[in-house]
Each structure stands twice: as C-alpha cells, then as structure tokens.
Chains A and B, each alone.
Chain A
C-alpha cells in the first residue's frame, strides 16, 4: 500500500520538470516575442511605440470577441455567429441613435450603449438556449443564427449601409475609440479591463471552475451536481456581452455598418483562442493567451504591410497557416508533457 511503484509513479516524476514550466501556456507569448523581433528586423519603424499601439488598438475588436469565445470554447461549445452578431447589434445601435427618441445627445448615447449591451446578451442567450434546450450541436445552432443575424442586418440596411446621421453624436462618441486615458488608447484600456475581469471569472470564481469542468467532461460535471446547461448558456451570454463591448468600440470608429461588417471575424476569434493555447475540445481556457493570439494575428498583418517580400493580399492564407501551425505545436507539446 505505501509504495505505489507503477507507471503512474514513473510519469509523475517525469512530469515534474515539465510542469514547472508549462510550455503550452508560455508558447503563445514566446511566439509573440519572436514576431516582434522579426518585425523589428524587417522594418525599424515597426518597433516604434506608435506602431505597436496602433496594432494593439486595431486588434481590439477581435481580442474582445475572442475573450468571450474563450468561455464558450472552454465550456466545450463553439459560436460561429459572432461576426454576424457584430453587424446586427451595431446596426440596431445606430438605428436607435438615428431614431431620435431621446433629445439629449449624452443621454441618448448612454441609452444606446445600454441597449447594445442588452441586445448582445440576448443574442448570446438565444444561441445558448438553441444549443442547450434545443439540444442542437453548437456548430449547427450558431451556423443557423449566423445566417439569421447576417440576414437581418442586410434587411435592416436594405443591402446598403447604416450610418450615424447626427454629427453632434458622432463628435460626442468619437473619443470612445480614438481617445486615450493617461496616454493609453481607450481600446487598449478596454481590452485590459475586459481580459482582467474575464481572467478573474474563469480562474477565481465558482462559475469559472464550472466552465472548466463542463468543458472537460459533461458527465463528470453532471454527476458533481453542476447545472451543465445553465453554465453553457451563461458562456454564450458572456460571448454576446463581449460582442456588444466590441460594438461599443466599433460604432464610434466608422459611424456606419453594412451587410459586410464583421465578415469572417468568427474565424479570427476562434484562431486567436486556439493560438492562445485553449484546447478546442474544451476544458483548459487561457484568457491572456487569447489576447496574445489576437495580437499575433494583427501583428502578422502589420509586418506583411511593412515588409516588401510578401503581398498583403496573402494575409488570409498566412492567418490560416497560423492556426494550423498553432494546433501542431499545441499537440506536440501535449505529447511531450
């Protein structure tokens, strides 16, 4: 009894050295550092604070959406509808602001922002209920809502664009994307706040632990008295909330949406999550890794733009390669561990 000499024991010993440095957690950050070095070699302008801050700012939409996707994927689900959801929620927000129901511009803006958060959450709730109560594979369920949200946007805009009409409101809202606090651009600040809250929820609360358990094994979660469907639905709502936050930054940037807003963003968000080290099969979620993944995607585009050897039209192909390489690296690290 006292001595468990067996293969279990053996692997324990071997694992110890690997566990002290969890390669899977470190890998995305190492890749990010490597990219920055490459970028600096390609073009000296790359390393400037202005350029890097620009890159981070532009990654904000995908990064914030991907934080939500980290919850959904950790719980063992998938949400393909986020790109369409951005277009839909943003359209509704602009239409509401154009409606002029509230005279005071500041009050109007506050109400519009509140409405956006509510609509985003409802869109997420719809995805969650269709998946859990309707017992439809998340892939199919959100493929459906992806079409629905996109179609509704096209209908609302009658195939064209929806533009914020009031110049006064535009001026009022503009700093939400272009402004900065203590020298830090607002979008970067928002990324940091959203990620910090998300990390706290995922790692330090009961709900976060339940997400991990549900993603690792639905059966174990059920036999441990966890309300599996509620946990999954809430993850979809968090995703919707993150989409709404991304919309709050998106609308002041262009002041307009169209039927093509947010196309393929769902793929970029999933790529960011996977590159960040979260397992697509559920279980281990890595929020900070996700942010890192989103930066990597944006950095690659930036480096291509600043360099002359690769055409920037190839960016989609490069991003596609990144996700495949990330998966291969993740798997080889798992094997060694």
Chain B
C-alpha cells in the first residue's frame, strides 16, 4: 500500500519547511517533502517550479536557506558535492557524469576502485559490473568505452552505478527524456524490482503518462510553492497538469487543418540514402504538418540532416519547389527557404555563453548589415520583435543564454530559425525537456505557421505530440521509412506496430 498511515512508517528522507534563496530571489517557499521506504515518488511542476533545486537540496548538492532535512527521522545535514552518496542518497544527473574515455566497468567503480595488495582488481570489478548489468537486463559490454555508447545505454550505466552503491534513495531527473519506449519499459521494470527490494525513488519528469504508470505518490510544485502531495491512484494526468499550471489547460493541441490534395508539393525527397538511412522517399505539401515518428536511433535526425545538407548523402535527390538541392550545402538550403531546428539546443542550437541577441541573429546576420557593418539598432529591433512573437520572458535582457530556462531557450532557438524567413521548417524534437505551458505555445505556433502557408516537419519521440499535431505521420525503423499513416491510422498502437517492426507498408 502506498498510503501507509501517517507515523506508522518513518520516511527514509524528508524535508521540513525547506526554503531556498539565491541572492535576493527566493526559489523555494517552505516546502515539505518526504520519501517513504520502497516507494516511487514523482515530483512534477513546470520549468522553474523549483523541482531541481529541491532535488539538489535533498541530495546534498545545495544547502537549504531555512528548514531542515531528516534522514530516518533524525535531523541531518547532508555533506556537500555528492558525498551524500555514502549515505545511500544518489542523484542521477540530467546531463551524465561519465568520463567518455573510461570503460563501463571503470566508470562504475570510479573513485572507489577495488584493489588487492594495492593493485586494481580488474577481474572482480568487471565481474561485478556484468552482474549488475545483467540484473538490469542490459546488454552493454562492461569493457565498452563510455564514449561509444548510445545515450540510453549511458543512462543504464548511470543507473547501474547507483545500484552498485547500494542506494537507499535514488533521484532521477528526467531519466526517460533520451530513452525510447522500449528502453523506458526496461528502466521502469528495474525501478519496480528495486522498489520491491526497498529502494526509494524520486522521479522528476514532465511526462505525465509516466507519472501515472510508475509512481506511487505525486508531489506538485508551482512557483517554488508546495501545491499538493497525493497518492497517484487518486489523480489523473489532467488533474496533475492543472495543478502544475494552476489554470485550465484549454486544449494542448490546436485544431488540425489538412492541406488540400492539390496544394503544391514544396519538398520532395526521392530515394535518399546515407550511411545509415536507406532509400527514403516522401513529399511535403504547402501548409502541411508532417510527423516523423520512430524509436530513438531509427534514423529520423539523420535523414533530416541529409535533406538539409548538414550530412552527406550517398544517393537520392531532394527537390525544393521542384528544383533540385545540392547535397552538403546547408547554407544553400537555408537560402532556398529550408530551415532545420536541431534537437540538441545546448550543443548545437545556442551559444550558451552569449546573450540572446547574438544568438537570435547568428543565422541571419546579412539582414542586419548596413554598408558592410552590423547595425546594433536593427538587431535590437529584431530581438524585441522575437520576444513579443515567441513570448520569451527573461528578467534581464543581457542574461547569458545558458542561464535561461529550457522553455525560453527553446523559444529563442525557434525564433533564431524563423529569422531566416523559411517556407519549410523541420523541427527536431520541438518540446524536449520543457514545461506544459511552453509546449502548448509551441504547438499553437506550429499550427499557425501551417495556416500561414508554411510547411512543417515535426520529428518527435513523443507520440502524443505527433498524433496531436500532424495530418500525416511517417514512421521510421532502423533507417527505413516503414509506414506513412493518415487519418484514423494516426494512433499510438498503429505507430508503435510500425516502429517496432510488427508491420510494414509495401510501397513507401
């Protein structure tokens, strides 16, 4: 049972009236939170609600400004900088803490290597690593270098590392953001197993269906305030979403508008192949929103990068408004009105050390050149326009982009891409790691673009997104385009069957 009577069981870890301020700004207001032994406690809230701060306080990476923490009912002050791991309190970071040049086994025992007579006992460490990975149902090779692993496998290594340290409470910050559905299922199975063995989990996420699926209790934070803690069984996704935003979410997805069948074909891809993607063909019409679904690693990003010229093509043609587009010439593609927005906003999308304006205009500087030099006034105007159009909200206009919230970064990246005035926009993972409110804004923006006559390709791992936005959905599997779905076929079951290889259309 999850609703153990109050006081009958002592929480493993709890926070009492914890507040936190950074400088003059208070980000947590007297929040209560507890973790029972053997439960999965979901912590949800919009970006900036204070989830990350609370998790950092509970795992010793930040100290509270006021209030106290209790471990097994006893007041405790957690050691800083991750040393709380010795107490069995482990935080799995959103950005992994793994050294790329170490092997899996070396990573697992990093900082607590097992030695015999002062010499590393590699055999023992490798065997132990194998045992834990097997327990997790992971096929990762214990001798593989971290740098060669897929993101999902790195996540598994992080979890294996947590388990090998005999964790009592494991904090997971957005663990499934980079996982496919299958990998998520494996992870959840392991979480359930460990929960049965008495390990507690705190699960920070934006994906409400996963909250419903996995967690025993839910705590909602909004604007640094505790809003509600309740057993998951008493809630549903809608009520949680409402608690998070504090207002009715009218409709997350705008009304779909199907383009006329005789609308012009603006983009046509014929027999495109890269080193991984094989023989992909499709067409995109004016005003259409086309979805690209599939598991992680199915080649969706690769095909889009090959189309736009960011990646070499081995074969095939790309036609923009009927005229062929040269391979490997991204700048030409942009000039022809084709835009690509990367899913990796921190690594490829934005200069994190720069301010907003240089980021906004980076791709369209020629618009701000006057007599050969950049005109700051024009750039400022563009920034002001973008802030209004995309509702970018910051306290200080000179803030470094790396300091902005994920939602604002995403909007800025969208604004940057739109500055080039594209007619065809390829958006890779439009809403990764951002809150519900911002998601809704981005969805409405995409729909508005289509109404204005732009064509949009949405590449997404979140099926509801593809289903809610797109009038046609292409499904990729292992580098092949295996299905092009329309109308009633656009639903989770059908997409999943194509994505998992249970079904395949003959002629796509």
Binding site for B on A (CB under 8 A): 1-16, 19, 200, 204-206, 209-210, 212-213, 216-217, 219-227, 283-284
Q: Could you say which of A1, A206, A210, A216 contacts B354, with CB atoms under 8 Å apart? A: A216
Q: Assess the B353–A283 pair: CB atoms within 8 A.
A: yes
Task: Indicate whether A11 sits within 8 Å of B348 (C-beta atoms), given known contacts A209-B365, A225-B331.
Answer: no
Q: Assess the A205–B224 pair: CB atoms within 8 A.
A: no
Residues of chain B with a CB closer than 8 A to A12's CB: 394-396, 399, 403
Q: Assess the B358–A14 pair: CB atoms within 8 A.
A: no
CB-CB contacts below 8 Å: B450-485 with A: none
- A95 and B46 alpha carbons, distance in the complex (Å): 71
The 8 A-B pairs of least Cβ separation, nearest first, read A10-B22, A6-B48, A1-B437, A10-B25, A4-B48, A14-B23, A224-B363, A206-B365
Q: List 30 A-B contacts (CB under 8 A).
A: A1-B435, A4-B393, A5-B27, A5-B50, A6-B47, A7-B22, A7-B27, A9-B27, A11-B22, A12-B394, A13-B22, A13-B24, A16-B396, A204-B374, A206-B365, A206-B366, A206-B374, A209-B358, A216-B351, A216-B352, A217-B351, A217-B352, A219-B344, A219-B348, A221-B362, A223-B342, A223-B348, A224-B416, A225-B420, A284-B353
- Does chain A have a CB within 8 A of B404? yes
- Does chain A have a CB within 8 A of B117? no
Residues of chain A with a CB closer than 8 A to B420's CB: 225
- Does chain A have a CB within 8 A of B310? yes
Residues of chain A with a CB closer than 8 A to B24's CB: 10, 13
- Does chain A have a CB within 8 A of B330? yes
Q: Could you say which of A7, A13, A19, A226 contacts B395, with CB atoms under 8 Å apart? A: A13
Q: Assess the B354–A6 pair: CB atoms within 8 A.
A: no
Task: Indicate whether A15 sits within 8 Å of B403 (C-beta atoms), given known contacts A9-B395, A223-B310.
Answer: yes
CB-CB contacts below 8 Å: B24-43 with A: 24-27
- Does chain A have a CB within 8 A of B347? yes
- A10 and B358 alpha carbons, distance in the complex (Å): 23
- Does chain A have a CB within 8 A of B223? yes
Q: Mark B167-181, 1 if CB is under 8 A from A, else 0.
A: 000000000000000
Q: Assess the A213–B23 pair: CB atoms within 8 A.
A: no
* B398 (CB) vs chain A CBs: closest residue: A19
- Does chain A have a CB within 8 A of B508? no
Residues of chain B with a CB closer than 8 A to A225's CB: 330-331, 334, 363, 420
- Does chain A have a CB within 8 A of B292? no
Interface centre among A4, A205, A209, by most chain B C-beta atoms within 10 angstroms, is A4
Q: Assess the A15–B52 pair: CB atoms within 8 A.
A: no
* B373 (CB) vs chain A CBs: closest residue: A204
Q: Assess the B403–A8 pair: CB atoms within 8 A.
A: yes
- Does chain A have a CB within 8 A of B350? yes
Residues of chain B with a CB closer than 8 A to A205's CB: 369, 372-374
Chain A interface SS verdict (over half): helix
- A315 and B396 alpha carbons, distance in the complex (Å): 46
- Does chain A have a CB within 8 A of B340? yes
Residues of chain A with a CB closer than 8 A to B49's CB: 5-6
**What 10 new A-B contacts, CB under 8 Å, besides A6-B53, A223-B348?**
A1-B437, A1-B441, A4-B393, A5-B26, A5-B224, A14-B22, A15-B403, A209-B361, A213-B358, A222-B310
Q: Could you say which of B23, B25, B331, B438 contacts A5, with CB atoms under 8 Å apart? A: B25
- Does chain A have a CB within 8 A of B408? yes
Q: Assess the A223–B354 pair: CB atoms within 8 A.
A: no
Return A160 CB to nearest CB of chain B, in Å. Answer: 46
* B49 (CB) vs chain A CBs: closest residue: A6
Q: Could you say which of B48, B353, B398 contacts A3, with CB atoms under 8 Å apart? A: B48
Residues of chain A with a CB closer than 8 A to B48's CB: 3-6, 8-9
Q: Assess the B365–A219 pair: CB atoms within 8 A.
A: no
Interface centre among A9, A210, A219, by most chain B C-beta atoms within 10 angstroms, is A9
- A222 and B393 alpha carbons, distance in the complex (Å): 27
Residues of chain B with a CB closer than 8 A to A221's CB: 362
Return B398 CB to nearest CB of chain A, in Å. Answer: 6
Q: Assess the B310–A6 pair: CB atoms within 8 A.
A: no
Return B210 CB to nearest CB of chain A, in Å. Answer: 22
Residues of chain A with a CB closer than 8 A to B23's CB: 10-11, 13-14
- A4 and B396 alpha carbons, distance in the complex (Å): 12
Residues of chain B with a CB closer than 8 A to A222's CB: 310, 330, 348
Q: Could you say which of B47, B362, B366, B373 contacts A224, with CB atoms under 8 Å apart? A: B362
* A16 (CB) vs chain B CBs: closest residue: B396
Interface centre among B27, B49, B50, B441, by most chain A C-beta atoms within 10 angstroms, is B27
- A75 and B351 alpha carbons, distance in the complex (Å): 14
Return A201 CB to nearest CB of chain B, in Å. Answer: 9
- A95 and B277 alpha carbons, distance in the complex (Å): 58
- Does chain A have a CB within 8 A of B259? no
- Does chain A have a CB within 8 A of B349? yes
Residues of chain A with a CB closer than 8 A to B27's CB: 5-7, 9-10
Residues of chain B with a CB closer than 8 A to A220's CB: 347-351, 362
Return A18 CB to nearest CB of chain B, in Å. Answer: 11
- Does chain A have a CB within 8 A of B102? no
- A12 and B402 alpha carbons, distance in the complex (Å): 11
Residues of chain B with a CB closer than 8 A to A19's CB: 398
Return B22 CB to nearest CB of chain A, in Å. Answer: 3
Q: Assess the A4–B365 pair: CB atoms within 8 A.
A: no
Task: Indicate whether A206 sits within 8 Å of B369 (C-beta atoms), given known contacts A9-B25, A11-B22, A12-B396.
Answer: yes
Q: Could you say which of B46, B352, B403 contacts A11, with CB atoms under 8 Å apart? A: B403
- A221 and B330 alpha carbons, distance in the complex (Å): 12
Residues of chain A with a CB closer than 8 A to B66's CB: none
Residues of chain A with a CB closer than 8 A to B2's CB: none
Q: Mark B117-136, 1 if CB is under 8 A from A, else 0.
A: 00000000000000000000
Q: Assess the B47–A4 pair: CB atoms within 8 A.
A: yes
Q: Assess the A7–B363 pair: CB atoms within 8 A.
A: no
- Does chain A have a CB within 8 A of B245? yes
Interface centre among A11, A200, A216, A224, by most chain B C-beta atoms within 10 angstroms, is A224
Q: Could you say which of A1, A6, A224 contacts B438, with CB atoms under 8 Å apart? A: A1
Residues of chain B with a CB closer than 8 A to A226's CB: 362
* A17 (CB) vs chain B CBs: closest residue: B23
* B366 (CB) vs chain A CBs: closest residue: A206
* B365 (CB) vs chain A CBs: closest residue: A206
- Does chain A have a CB within 8 A of B405? yes
Q: Mark B38-75, 1 if CB is under 8 A from A, else 0.
A: 00000000111110110000000000000000000000
Return B8 CB to nearest CB of chain A, in Å. Answer: 35
- A266 and B340 alpha carbons, distance in the complex (Å): 41
Q: Mark B396-416, 1 if CB is under 8 A from A, else 0.
A: 101110011100100000001
Q: Assess the B21–A10 pair: CB atoms within 8 A.
A: yes
Interface centre among A3, A216, A220, A284, by most chain B C-beta atoms within 10 angstroms, is A220
Q: Assess the A3–B223 pair: CB atoms within 8 A.
A: yes
Return B507 CB to nearest CB of chain A, in Å. Answer: 34
- A9 and B23 alpha carbons, distance in the complex (Å): 10
Residues of chain A with a CB closer than 8 A to B374's CB: 204-206, 209
- A19 and B354 alpha carbons, distance in the complex (Å): 13
Return A60 CB to nearest CB of chain B, in Å. Answer: 27
* B28 (CB) vs chain A CBs: closest residue: A5
Residues of chain B with a CB closer than 8 A to A10's CB: 21-25, 27
Q: Assess the B396–A1 pair: CB atoms within 8 A.
A: no
Return A336 CB to nearest CB of chain B, in Å. Answer: 13
Task: Indicate whether A6 sits within 8 Å of B50 (C-beta atoms), given known contacts A216-B351, A220-B348.
Answer: yes
- A205 and B371 alpha carbons, distance in the complex (Å): 10
* A227 (CB) vs chain B CBs: closest residue: B331
Task: Indicate whether A216 sits within 8 Å of B347 (C-beta atoms), given known contacts A4-B48, A9-B48.
Answer: no
* B62 (CB) vs chain A CBs: closest residue: A7
